Amino acid sequence: MRHFGSACIHLSKSKKIMVKRNPHFGKLSAEYLFLEVKKRKEALLNKQPNAKIISLGIGDTTEPIPKVIAEAMEKVALDLSTKSGYHGYGPYNGLEALREKITEKYYPGLVDKDEIFISDGIKSDMARLQILFGEKVTVAVQDPAYPAYISSSVITGKSGFFDPEQQYVDIVYMPCTAENDFFPDLSKTKRADIIFFCSPNNPTGSVPTHEQLEELVQFAKKNDSIIIFDAAYRVFIKDPNLPKSIYEIDGAKDVAIEFGSFSKYAGFTGIRLGWSVFPKELHFSEGLPVINDWERVLSSCYNGTSIISQMGGIASLENEGEEALNGIIDHYLGNAKILKDCIEKIGWPCFGGDNAPYLWIKVPGKKSWDAFEDILYKTHIVTTPGVGFGPSGEGYIRLSAFGHRADIEEAATRLLKFK
Ligand code: PLP
């Protein structure tokens, strides 16, 4: 066994070829959070095979896709079997009708349809984003944050090693804690070329105010940085006073790229559909438009998004589809309320859940993995340990509200007994 960074790897004795491994993989932390969660769940099942496990861990949707949306996808799939309905490659930036709908619904008067690029989801766009910026840029992330920002940055060479403090050297961590209302203290934040920022945040469920986002935009302008604004959960923001897009902030188009997704909105986690917004105003230091290079990345590394997903996306944004989906969003937010009421009865500090499908819970006197194990073994509920999202998540667990109502109610009953 040899140690590469903090990862312990068993070297194979089979024949070696001449190709060297990308050394950046050796810098990744040993375990991928959700694989480790799965491993520990399986360990419990080995000991207690009859345990009825409820998963409030991974943020995957559970409610079926409304029929009107499935029918739109069925129709285009069947049309493909006809001469007149057959399509080959689609436009690399997506169907105009879908780009128009996204503009109209989410960015009226803010963004042009030609600044929108349809994709197979944010996670793959994040990988393409790393190609766009190359390995030399420096990176800042909210701490805690969605792990893909860091892992895609590390794999593409933006960090040294994972240090004993469980942080990646060369990546700027912006602590977001209960003490700073989950918004980073920008007066103490070191400059980075690109700043990943997620609202509503996964995992804390926090949503910054207009004033806070103004501060972020000013910070990016002062430092000549680019904000990568991840709005995967924007549809969960019900408070009309909270911003849903970075472009609601004056001047944001000079410094921000935004990503959106149908995954959590329309239950498309398995169908795959998302988009990016690259404003024409955004330029590199040499004065060249960033959007031009993004077009080049897409034309070199992507052949467009499935036409079936895109037609489903259009149906999701039309009246009948949208109405049905709003009911599902309300259902998940109802789940979040049940869990939040339960945690408040228990008396643990609890954040998020009002404008987000996640609850961020401090378990008094416990480290994240200890709280995870304790809850798993005593209630058979799978949570996600907060420390897996960054060092500032230590002592927290995340609950996902994406479950079926009966499971959420049963989980709440078990948690109250656990107390
Ligand atoms: N961004 C955040 C913050 C997420 O939590 C997730 C998925 O959990 C994604 C992006 C991935 O989105 P997509 O399914 O569009 O790839």
pLDDT digits over 212-266, tens only? 999 999 999 999 999 999 999 999 999 999 999 999 999 999 999 999 999 999 9
H helix count then E strand count, the chain: 12, 15
CA of 269 to the centre of ligand 1 (A): 9
d(CA 190, CA 392): 17
Question: pLDDT of 5-28, one tens digit each?
Answer: 444 555 666 777 889 999 999 998
Residue carrying structure tokens 């959700």? 34
Q: State the pLDDT at residue 14.
A: 74
Q: How far is the CA of 140 from the centre of ligand 1 (A)?
A: 18
Q: What's the predicted TM-score (pTM) here?
A: 0.95
pLDDT of residue 6: 46
Per DSSP, helices labelled H in 267-318 are 290-301, 307-317
Give, as one character, the DSSP assignment of residue 10: P
- pLDDT of 4 reads 44
Backbone angles phi, psi at 329, to 5 degrees: -60, -45
Residue whose C-alpha is closest to residue 359's, from 404, 418, 328, 403: 403
Cβ-contact 338, 56 below 8 angstroms: no
User: Which carries the bigger pLDDT value, residue 14 or residue 357?
Assistant: 357
**Mean pLDDT across 368-382:** 96
Query: Residue 165's pLDDT band (boundaries 50, 70, 90)?
Result: confident
Q: How many CA atoms lie within 13 A of 150 on its CB side?
A: 28
Q: What is the pLDDT of residue 419?
A: 66
Q: What is the DSSP letter of 252?
A: G
- Give me the count of residues in the chain: 419
* Contact in structure between 342 and 127 (CB atoms under 8 Å): no
Average pLDDT over residues 385-394: 95
Atom of ligand 1 nearest to the CA of 198: 3
Assess whether pLDDT exceeds 50 at residue 353: yes
88-92, 197-201, 367-371, 394-398: least confident range: 88-92
What number is the average pLDDT over the span 390-400? 97
CA–CA dist 297, 93 (Å, integer): 11
Say if residues 68 and 320 touch (Cβ distance below 8 Å). yes
- State the closest ligand 1 atom to the C-alpha of 123, by its place in the atom list counted from 1: 16
- Residues 202/172, Cβ–Cβ less than 8 Å: no
CB atoms within 10 A of CB 218: 14
For residue 322, the CA-to-ligand 1 centroid distance in Å is 20
Amino acid at 335: N
355's tokens: 């404008």
Name 250's Cβ contacts closer than 8 Å, sequence gap at least 6: 214, 217
How far apart CA 180 and CA 186 sit, in angstroms, is: 11
Instruction: Say which residue the tokens 């469980």 belong to.
Output: 166
Atom of ligand 1 nearest to the CA of 261: 15
How many angstroms separate the CA atoms of 312 and 98, rounded?
A: 10
Mean pLDDT of all residues in 106-119: 98
- pLDDT at residue 300 tops 70: yes
- Atom index in ligand 1 nearest the CA of residue 145 equals 3
Going by C-beta distance under 8 Å and a sequence separation of 6 or more, which residues neighbour residue 79?
A: 85, 86
pLDDT > 50? residue 172: yes
- Hey, what are 39's tokens? 């491993």
Average pLDDT (278-296) is: 97
| pLDDT value, residue 34 | 84
**214 CA to centre of ligand 1 in angstroms:** 24
40-46: average pLDDT: 94
Say how far apart CA 307 and CA 311 lie, in whole Å.
Answer: 6
Contact partners, residue 236, CB within 8 Å, separation at least 6:
200, 264, 329, 332, 333, 355, 356, 357
Whose Cα sits closest to atom 15 in ligand 1? 121
How many whole angstroms separate alpha carbon 396 and alpha carbon 205?
13
Ligand 1 centroid to Cα of residue 123, in Å, is: 6
Pocket residues: Cβ below 6 A from ligand 1? 59, 121-123, 146, 198, 202, 230, 232, 261, 263, 269, 274
Enter the tokens of residue 399.
Answer: 């609950």
The tens digit of pLDDT for each residue in 56-83 reads 988 899 999 999 999 999 999 999 999 9
Q: In whole angstroms, what is the distance from residue 123 CA to residue 53 CA?
A: 28
Torsion of CA 40, 42, 47, 53, to 10 degrees: 90
Atom of ligand 1 nearest to the CA of 59: 8
Mean predicted confidence (pLDDT) in 339-344: 97
pLDDT, residue 161, reads 87
Q: Are 352 and 358 in contact (CB under 8 A)?
A: yes
What is the rounded distance in angstroms from the CA atom of residue 369 to the CA atom of residue 363?
Answer: 11
From first CA to last CA, the distance across the chain in angstroms is 42
Nearest by Cα to 5 from 167, 152, 161, 151: 161
Q: Would you say residue 384 has pLDDT above 60?
A: yes
> What is the CB-side half-sphere exposure of residue 352 using CA atoms within 13 A?
29
Residue 11 alpha carbon to ligand 1 centre in Å: 33
